[in-house]
Structure 1
Amino acid sequence: MPFTAAAFGRKLSTLRKDFGQEIGSVASSTGISADRLGALEDGRIEPSGDEVLILADHYRKDFQYLLADGAEDPDEGVELLFRERGDVLPQADRVAIAEFAFLCRSEAMLERELRLEPRRSAFEFRPRGEYRKGHGRDCAAALRKHLNLNDREGVRDVFATIRDMGIRVFRRRLENSNISGLFMNHPEAGRCILVNLAEGMARQRFSAAHELGHAILDADGAPVTLSMVGGWNSAELAEVRANAFASHFLMAPGLLSAIPRDHLTNAAEVSAWAGRLRVSVPALLSAFHDARMISAEQRSWLREVAQRPSEPPDPELEGALTPPQLARKQALLERGLSSRYVGLAFEAFNAGRISLGLLTELLLSTPAETAEIAALFGRSLQRD
């Protein structure tokens, strides 16, 4: 495909505006002067090779997309989200979501380089009728059966369950605490889920299950679906359905029916059961209410008096870790890196499928940090 400075400039200008950034901040981040960036955006000059790579890295794009006039942007759905929901997406969250899309594309690339068979679940669900809450409930029951979960068995690691279904899931701290997560149906990476790491683990588990509901039931809808805490109402049926799915997937009717009746209105017991099921007290009370086990008045009262239980363990941080190792793994999670993704990146490097420079880029790190990450995961920076 041909290259023209005008098309390159239009792409740069659009990306900068979509990211909510001023030329001065881009100049500060890239080391390219504001005057030169302005000339590049106006199409008055051509970029150097280094500038193309620097700007591609800044916007988390493949440099070939910037260079080829007619190239399609695989992350177009993300930029569309930025334009449509800019009111709730601060600049930091746009960067985080762009890096999430980059990680999804990179994970798909690593799987191709390693010649891994795509992980695809045989599970499909076709809803019947128009009752969306019923869709969510029935889909959750069907999935639990597909996963061989009995009616009284909880979901221990919802993130691993989602990955085993061939759906990508990453976690990243978002500045807007009202965003619980998002689902993206990416043209290259497939179905992808982002969960807000700023939430407690019980809420993260529910958010992941909610986005899984979107991934199963709404994959043919908008390319990116943003989920807000309390940001939707009963008229938004896709959200109602995803919430019903999450509730029934994590708290199946058999689990709820096993709870003694006298525990349902005992604040201490409600808190204890929420801890056992690894869900929040509000989520458990909503499940009780939807199952007609308690009244609306009882739910409201219990939300006020039941104590929040200890958060469930983070599956990414379990195991024998020293305090420095724990701090490093937590820092990687803050960067959005899952243990599976890091493992794939080192496996590809050790097999000679990617360079050390690309490994560092994929880990969103510096060369020194890459060496630290290798030591943390017991990996070698030497080729096999």
Structure 2
Amino acid sequence: MIRESHLDRVLARKLKEAREQRGLTQEAVAQILGVSRETVALWEGGARIPSLLYLGDLAKLYGVKEESFLTQGPLEFLEDLRALLRKEEEALLDPGVRLELRRWLDFLNGYAELLELAGEAPYLKAPPKELKPKEAILTDLRQASSQAIKVREYFKLGQDALPELYTFLDNVGVLVYKVSLPQGAGVWGAFYRHPRLGYSVLVNVNATPGRQAFTLAHELAHALYHNGFPGIVCRRENLAPEEAEVERFANAWAAHFLVPGKALREGVRRLGRLDPEVALLLAHHFRVSYALLLFRLRNEGLLSEEQLKEWVQYAPQDLARRLGLNPEPYGLPQSLPNLQGLKRYPPSVLQLVRKSVEEDLISVSEAAELLNVNSYILEKELLSAGLPKEENPEVEELVQELGFVSPGRRGKVLR
């Protein structure tokens, strides 16, 4: 390790060197990290040293081992994305996407250690044996519908609209990690079979709720049918032939899983007609996007090719307004969703981190480092003592109607 008096000069030089090797401008780095270009220039000029959080993000953005910023030797580059992408594909990704993927993998490594320390079981590591297909990698589109129904039956989900998928996946043992990627980044999500932690999926929340639901179902398909791959980044371009095949299957499976054909046909029959407004009502019922619902109608032979081409031109937000529905779920966020703090993580992660701090398995600073937040935010949002209390007017309304134990029930009071 070099002498402390030289640290600022070596760090500054290597920050500039790493940025230039990645072909990034100071403006691009500033935009990705949410700081000013002047701040990046001060870091590279040695007038200011980045905080530990920013230094870690710079290392991930440039694909550099953080400790190599602080030594006299050459920069050492990370190979962590090899689990998800070939080297040539990594170079084609948007820099912000590479940063988020590295943040995700870094978190999974640290969280796997916490699971082991706390003696907790890992997340799902293989599909339930009842759902395991005969093929090692299932890509036959003809099986998408039957496999989707089989999964619904296994989890007792019926044929109608699904529960909220973020919570569902967390409950069945798939860790969901949220990111906000710029429009046009071309990546909707990713799946990773972490060797110690188990299954995790990454979801881009800079999309409509219906598109997010489709991404979650798509990644679940990878977990169930394509876990022979260590990881898959779901993107539009630069797919190898075998990746294109598994993507097509995952798309078809997700569509049938979200909107089963039998339930869709029953919905059309019940409403008694089929037009763009009815299609929007059905999309609202199944909690999917208007576009996906139209394609499912076409899949089931309920919509002609000509109707599909016409109906996709109608704005779903306008249709929602005409029906008295909230139009917001059918439009993209006006700005990038703010995923600072703890919003990236599912309930299972936050519960275990809080429990681990309370039981002194890890310190507050270690928990903050794991979740990539500062200690103040962690204390305020996750570790504050006691549960907040407030008046709930609904209690008074329901106390007369529901303040009873159902006849014949001998429930055991939980403590």
Fold shared per TM-score above 0.5: yes
Aligned residue among 205, 222, 236 for 1:214: 222
For structure 1, the 5+ residue unaligned runs are 1-11, 36-50, 68-72, 314-328
Letter in 2 for 1:215: A
Correspondence 1:108 to 2:116: no
Aligned residue among 273, 278, 287 for 2:296: 287
Tell me the CA shift for residue 372 of structure 1: 2.2
Aligned to 2:211: 203
C-alpha contact (below 8 Å) 1:202/1:312 kept by paired residues = no
Aligned to 2:400: none
Aligned to 1:4: none
Aligned to 1:237: 245
Tell me the CA shift for residue 281 of structure 1: 0.8
Aligned to 1:122: 128
Correspondence 1:307 to 2:311: no
The equivalences for 1:145-294 within 5 A come to: 145-151=153-159, 153-177=160-184, 178-221=186-229, 223-228=230-235, 236-261=244-269, 265-294=274-303
Q: How far apart, CA to CA, are the structure 2 residues paired with 1:115 and 1:218? A: 28
Aligned to 1:75: 80
**1:294-329 CA distances to partner (integer Å, 9 max, x unpaired)?**
11111121212262444798xxxxxxxxxxxxxxx9
Aligned to 1:373: 381
- For 1:191, what is the secondary structure of its paired residue? strand
Q: Which moved more, 1:339-348 or 1:117-126?
A: 117-126
Correspondence 1:340 to 2:342: no
Q: How far apart, CA to CA, are the structure 1 residues paired with 2:305 and 2:91? A: 35
CA change 1:264–1:246 in 2 (3 A) is farther
Letter in 1 for 2:314: V
Aligned to 1:3: none
Q: Which moved more, 1:100-109 or 1:279-288?
A: 100-109
Q: How many residues align?
A: 334
TM norm structure 1: 0.71
**1:197-230 CA distances to partner (integer Å, 9 max, x unpaired)?**
1011111011110111112111112x33222358
For structure 2, the 5+ residue unaligned runs are 1-13, 31-38, 72-77, 321-325, 330-336, 389-415
CA change 1:369–1:119 in 2 (3 A) is closer
Q: How far apart, CA to CA, are the structure 1 residues paired with 2:56 and 2:314? A: 51
Aligned residue among 20, 23, 27 for 2:22: 20
Aligned to 2:372: 364
CA change 1:130–1:161 in 2 (3 A) is closer
Letter in 1 for 2:267: I
Q: How far apart, CA to CA, are the structure 1 residues paired with 2:41 and 2:378? A: 21
Letter in 2 for 1:112: E
CA change 1:375–1:165 in 2 (3 A) is closer
Q: Which moved more, 1:125-134 or 1:357-366?
A: 125-134
Aligned residue among 351, 358, 361 for 1:353: 361
Letter in 1 for 2:286: L
C-alpha contact (below 8 Å) 1:172/1:333 kept by paired residues = no
- For 2:228, what is the secondary structure of its paired residue? coil
